[in-house]
Chains A and B, each alone.
Chain A
Amino acid sequence: MSRAATTSSRTNRTAVRRRYSLSSVLYPLFALLYLLCAHSAHAARIGDISETSLSTQALRFFTFQDPSVRYALLGSMLLGISCGLLGSFLVVRKMALVGDALSHAVLPGVALGFLWNMSKDPVAIFIGATLAGLLGAGAVHLIKQTTRLKEDTALGLVLASFFAVGICMVTMIQRLPTGNKSGIDKFLFGQAAAIGAADVQLMGVVTGLAVVVIAVFYKEFLVTSFDAGFARAVGLPVQAFHYGLMLLLAFAVVIALQAVGVVLVSAMLITPAAAAYLLTDRMHRMLLLAALFGMAAGALGAFLSFLGNNLPTGPFMVLAATTVFAAAFLFGPRHGVLARWWRQRSRAARIQRENTLKAIYHVLEARNFQGEGVSLRELAERRRETEEEIQAQAAALARHELATLPGEADALFLTPAGWQTACAIVRNHRLWELYLTHTAQIAADHVHEDAEKIEHVLGEDVVRELERRLNYATKDPHGKVIPAVPVTLESKPEATPGYGRG
C-alpha cells in the first residue's frame, strides 16, 4: 500500500510538472491562433496559383502573405500536436492499428455530414465523423466480445466495411449533379490548402481539449494504460478512460482528415509517437516529443506540398514523420540501432580483453608465477590463436593500460590494474564453477562452459555473496587456487569486471 502511495505521489508530481511545461507551450500557440482567426480575409486558395517558380513559392510560404498559407500551416501544426499526444497512448497501449481502423471508419460519417446540407460544413462533418468513429470502435469491441474472431480480424473487418460504405457514399455524391465540385474527394488524401478559418478554429478547440484533458487526467491515463489491473484495484473506471481516449482519438482523426486524408491519418498518430518512444523512457517526455514531432511533420508537409502546386499534403507529412522516425531508429542515444551496435561492439571488445588477461594469468600460473612478462608466443600457444591475433589483443591491452609492451614488443607485462582484472576474472570463473558443483550439484566437467560466459558479467555484490555462501573456499572443483583480488595496489574499483561498464 505504501508503495502504491509513493507511486501515485510521484505520478502526481510528474503530472504537475507536465501541466506547467504544457501550458508554457500552449499559451503562445493560442495567442497565435486568435490573432489569425481575427483576420477574416478570404484570399485565393493555394491551389489556384498557377505556374510559379519554387523560390517564389517558398518565399510566399515563409512571408505568410496570404491567410490560406497561415491557415494551412497552423492547421497542420495543430493536428500534428493532437495526433502526437493521443498517438503516444496508442503506441504504449499496443493499439496502434486501432487508429488505422478508426481513421477509415470515419469516412461514412464524413459523407453523411456532407449530405446533411450538401456543403463542406465543418460542424456537420465533425459530428458525423465522430459518430461513425465511435460506432466503429464499438463494433470492434462487440465483435471481439461476442465472436471468437481475434482483435486484428475485428479491426480489419470494421476498417474495410466502414470504408467501403464510405466509398460507396462518396462515389454516389460525386455522381450527383452538384457533388462533382464539392471537393469531398480531398478527404481521402488531404489538402492542407483547403483548410479555412472555421476549420482552424475547430482544430484549435479540439487540440486544446485534448491537451487539457490529458493534462488534467494525466495520472489516470498513465495508470490505465500501463497497469489496467492496478487501475481497477484502486477504483478507476478503466473502461470509461478507454472510451474517453477513443472519443478524443475520433476528434483528432476528424480534424486531421482535411489536411492528411483518411488513409494516412493513422501514420500521423503512430509515427511521431513511435519516434518519441524510441528516444525516451518517461511518458511525459514522450508526449512532449511526440507533439513536437507531429507539429514539425505537419509544418514540413504543408511546406512541401505548397512548393509543388496541388500536391496532396498528407503523404508529405507522413514522409516527414517517417524521416524523424528513421533518424530516431538509427541514431537514438539509447534504443537506436547504432547505439546498440556500439554497445555490443564495446562489450565484445571488453570480453576479448578480459579473456586475454585470463590467458596471461593461466600462463603465469602454469609456471608458479615465476618471472613477470609473458611472451606473445606463449600466449598464442595457450589461446591456440595466430601471432597476428595475439598482437592485436596485446595492443588492445596496452591501449587500455592493462599491460605494457616494452622493448621489442614481444612480451606483455601486466600493469597493477591489469593484474587486478586478471585475478578478478579468474576468481569469478572459479567461484562460479565451485558454486555450480557445490550448490547446483552439477558435475565438475560440465561447469566450465557456463563459467566462461558468466565470468564477464558477475558484479562485485554477487561475488561477495558467492564467497559467503561457499564459506570463503580457496580451491575450485578442479583443485586450482581461487585467487584473491589484490586491493592494496592502487585499487581501481571500476577495473573489476561486472555490469554497467563499457
Chain B
Amino acid sequence: MGFLVATACGLVGNYLILRRMALVGDAISHSILPGIAVAFLLSGSRGSLPMFIGALVAGAVTTVLIEVIHKKSRVKQDAAIGIAFTSLFAVGVILISLFASKVDLDQECVLYGEIAFIPLESSVELAGLKLGPPSVVRMAVVTLVVALLVGLFYKELLVSSFDPALSFSLGINSTFVHYALMAMLSVVVVSAFEAVGAILVIAMLILPGATATLLSNRFPVMLGLTVLHAALSAVLGLHLGVWLNCSLAAAMVVAATFLFVLAWIFSPEEGLLSRVFKDRSGAVEPRCESAGSSE
C-alpha cells in the first residue's frame, strides 16, 4: 500500500516540480478536505465514489480560486495559493468538527491517515483470487491508471511542462493539460489520503521527484528513480514506524527524507560531496566552469 501511494504520488509529483507548482500540490492536498467532508455529509457514507467526486470538485475549486485571486487583483500567486487553501482547509476542519464528530470520519485519521489499520480489513476476492484489502485494491487501480496516463500522454505532458510555447504550436492545449494534471492530482491525493493523511501527501508528492531530480538529468530515468525511491521509502518507513511506535505514514516520510538527504550528499553530479571534490580539482580550471555547474 505504501509503495502504491508513493508511486502514484511520485509520478504526478515529478510534473509538479518541473512546472514549479510544488506548492499547488500542497494547496490541493489541503483543500480537498472540505470536498471530502461535504461529500461525506451529503452521501452519508465513506464510499469511494462520492469522495472522489467531492475531492475532484474541491481540487477544481482551489485551482480556479487561485487563478481568480491572482488574475483579478494584484495579489501575487504565492499569496493567492496561501489564502485559497487555508480558507478551504479551515472550512473542512470546521465541517468535520461540527458534523462528523459522531461518525468514523475523525480528524486524526484525516490528518495522519492510518496505514496500519489496512491489514485489518477483509480482503476482496475477484475470480477466486485473493486480491487484498479493498483500499489496497483501489489504490492499485489508481496507481495503474496514473502510470497508464503518464505513459500514454508522456509527450504531451513533457512538452507542455518544459515549453508551453512549443506545445501551443504543436496543437496541444496546455490549459487542458494543466487542468487534467490537476484532476489527476486530486484523484491521487484523495486516494492516498486514507493511507497517509491530507498533509503528508505533499511529502509523497515532492520528495521522490526532488530526489530523482538530483540524481538524473533525463526525464525517463527520473520517473524510474521516482518509483525506486517510492519502494525504498515504503519499506524503510514501515520498519521505522514499527520500531519507533509512531505514525507509520509519518515514518514513511521520514524515511523518504532520509533518502533525499543521502541523494543530496552523495549524488554523482549534484551532490555536496562531488561538489567539494570538483571545487578542489577545479582550482586550476577557468572560473566560469564551476560557476556554470552550480546552476
Contact = CB atoms under 8 A, between A and B. Distances in A.
B48 interface: no
Q: Is the interface of A mostly helix, strand, loop or mixed?
A: helix
B112 interface: yes
Task: For chain B, give the interface size range.
Answer: 35 or more
A149 B214 contact: yes
B275 A153 contact: no
A337 interface: yes
Interface string A148-170: 11101101110111011111110
Contacts of B199: 104, 163, 167, 263
B21 to A, nearest CB: 7
B87 A318 contact: yes
Contacts of A149: 17, 210, 213-214
A97 B107 contact: no
B224 interface: no
A450 B75 CA distance: 32
Given A150-B20, A152-B21, A270-B79, A100 B26 contact: yes
A274 B75 contact: yes
Interface stretch (A228-236, A309-317, A468-476): A309-317
A165 B254 contact: yes
B90 A264 contact: yes
Interface string B229-248: 00000000000010011110
Nearest to A269: B82
A318 B85 CA distance: 11
A97 B81 contact: yes
Contact of A319 (B73, B87, B252, B253): B87
B244 A172 contact: yes
B254 A156 contact: no
A155 B214 contact: no
Interface string A167-193: 111011001000000000100110000
B107 A160 contact: no
A240 to B, nearest CB: 24
B79 A274 contact: yes
B180 to A, nearest CB: 21
B28 interface: no
Contacts of A175: 245-246
Contacts of B82: 96-97, 99-100, 266-267, 269-271, 274
A325 interface: yes
Nearest to B245: A175
B69 interface: yes
A325 B200 contact: no
Contacts of B75: 91, 274, 277-278
Interface stretch (B50-58, B92-100, B167-175): B92-100
A157 B263 CA distance: 13
A340 B73 CA distance: 9
Interface in A108-142: none
A292 to B, nearest CB: 18
A322 interface: yes
B264 interface: yes
A253 B98 CA distance: 26
A160 B83 contact: no
Of A150, A156, A278, the most chain B CB neighbours within 10 A belong to A156
B91 A271 contact: no
Contact of B254 (A146, A168, A271, A274): A168
Contacts of B112: 167, 171
Contacts of B22: 150, 152-153, 155-156
B52 to A, nearest CB: 24
A156 B75 CA distance: 21
B111 interface: yes
B197 to A, nearest CB: 8
Interface string A291-329: 000000000000000001001101110110010010001
B289 to A, nearest CB: 16
Given A91-B79, A189-B93, A167 B23 contact: no
A170 to B, nearest CB: 8
B195 interface: no
A325 B247 CA distance: 36
A155 B23 contact: yes
B87 A94 contact: no
A273 B247 CA distance: 35
B121 interface: no
Given A97-B78, A100-B26, A155-B23, A164 B87 contact: no
25 contacts: A91-B76, A100-B82, A148-B213, A153-B22, A153-B210, A156-B202, A156-B205, A161-B207, A161-B256, A163-B253, A166-B250, A167-B199, A168-B250, A171-B247, A171-B250, A172-B244, A185-B108, A264-B90, A316-B90, A316-B94, A318-B87, A318-B90, A335-B73, A335-B74, A337-B73
Give the 8 A-B residue pairs with the shortest CB-CB distance, closest first.
A160-B203, A267-B86, A164-B253, A315-B90, A161-B257, A167-B250, A270-B82, A318-B90
Interface of A: 91, 94-97, 99-100, 104, 143, 146-150, 152-153, 155-157, 159-161, 163-169, 171-172, 175, 185, 188-189, 263-264, 266-267, 269-271, 273-274, 277-278, 308, 311-312, 314-316, 318-319, 322, 325, 329, 332, 335-337, 340
Given A99-B82, A146-B275, A164-B254, 18 more contacts: A143-B264, A147-B213, A149-B213, A149-B214, A150-B20, A156-B25, A164-B200, A164-B203, A164-B257, A165-B254, A168-B241, A189-B107, A267-B90, A273-B79, A308-B98, A315-B91, A319-B91, A322-B86
